[in-house]
Amino acid sequence: MRAALLRDFKSPLIIEEVPRPTPGPDELLIEVEACGVCHSDLHIADGDWTQLAGIVKKPLIPGHEIAGRVVERGAAVANLQVGDRVGIPWVHRTCGECEFCRSGNENLCLMQQITGVTVDGGYAEFLKAPASHATPIPPSLSALEAAPLMCAGVTVYRALHQVRLSPGQRLAVFGVGGLGHLAVQIGVALGAEVTAIDLANEKLALAKAFGASKTLDARSPTLIRELRAGGGFHVAIVTSASKTAYDAAFYAARPTGTLLVVGLPAENICFPPILMAAGEIRIRASAVGTRQDVRGVLEMAAAGRLRCQISSRPLHEVNSVLEELRHGRISGRVVLTPQTPST
């Protein structure tokens, strides 16, 4: 099968013919119909997350926003059939036994495997994955629509539910990219008054189209004053991959407000303790989501309350897509279609 391989950090992916994986007894072989290109894939390819470098498989097939069809199943698989449409998320496999698995936080499992990081992912015509962690895709969603929900969607869905964002609260969304444009919609659906902040005018226009009541240009020299003008925000979620967004977002939180850490720049973030204490600012981080969160976000999309802005590209264009993502030139999410022939 054809796959895009990461052989070395900071080098382009290489399209190669590799053997089609053989599913184990509890696994599925899935024909990948769509795989979203998440900014995390770029962080991984660039070796940005030095803390994670040791666990990255080499060579690696990246990609963790996968939607496809079951074409083969292991002898022990009972919950899914050949032909079923399923999604495979970042959380690839969990132990089911550690204290985090048992307390409803399997996304924090101590023994977890990660799709497109510790095991091969979806930048390929096929992948294998445990049937236990494959979620059926509702019939009303296409593979292209469902794929980005496996990471971008589930991540912001969990994050905004974790902080119990409620009707009437003010939400600031920093970064209106793959994650951010979905965060705007989930914020609106939860009844919050949403302000979106980004560097690009077209992204701000997208946020408006998805229900943001206000937008602010991240390049404005008076951004912090503008953010604080309305009394600050109950929740300021950062879905940007840039540290600069955090530098502004901290000042957006009202007293007792929450800075919600989701975007994962390589640099450390740092805030003045006196201002954290003076406002009793809460800082909370959120990591992707559980299978229950995946079902929740798929249901929301199937009910027409969440829509990912997608454009599709063939697998062999993956390096140009990553380059466009690096420069902030992608609106919504690009989804690779590995079954499209490479001419």
- Is 169 a binder of ligand NAD (CB under 6 A)? no
- Is 151 a binder of Zn ion (CB under 5 A)? yes
| Position among 43, 57, 295, 307 found at the interface with ligand NAD (CB under 6 A) | 43
Query: Please, where are the H alpha helices in 29-83?
Result: 39-46
Nearest approach, Cβ of residue 40 and Zn ion (Å): 4
**Cβ 58 vs Cβ 167: under 8 Å:** no
**Cβ 147 vs Cβ 332: under 8 Å:** no
- Alpha-carbon span 194 to 191, nearest angstrom: 9
- Is 310 a binder of ligand NAD (CB under 6 A)? no
- Is 244 a binder of ligand NAD (CB under 6 A)? yes
Backbone angles phi, psi at 279, to 5 degrees: -105, 5
Burial of 324 by CB count in 10 Å (0-12 exposed, 13-18 middle, 19+ buried)? middle
Q: Say which entry of ligand NAD, Zn ion, none residue 101 contacts (CB below 5 to 8 A, set by partner kind).
A: Zn ion
Site string for ligand NAD, 214-233 (x = CB under 6 A): ----x---------------
- Is 174 a binder of ligand NAD (CB under 6 A)? yes
Q: Say which entry of ligand NAD, Zn ion, none residue 174 contacts (CB below 5 to 8 A, set by partner kind).
A: ligand NAD
4 residue type, one letter: A
Selected range binding Zn ion among 68-76, 94-102, 326-334, 335-343, rule: CB under 5 A: 94-102
Looking up tokens 């302000």 gives 195
Residues facing 136 on adjacent strands: 86
Selected range binding ligand NAD among 112-120, 123-131, 186-194, 322-330, rule: CB under 6 A: 322-330
Strand order in the sheet with 214-217: 214-217, 193-198, 170-174, 233-238, 253-261, 282-285
**Cβ 61 vs Cβ 5: under 8 Å:** yes
20 residue type, one letter: R
Interface residues with ligand NAD (CB under 6 A) are: 38-40, 43, 151-152, 155, 174-180, 197-200, 203, 218, 239-242, 244-245, 262-264, 286-288, 325, 328, 330
Interface residues with Zn ion (CB under 5 A) are: 38, 40, 94-95, 98, 101, 109, 151
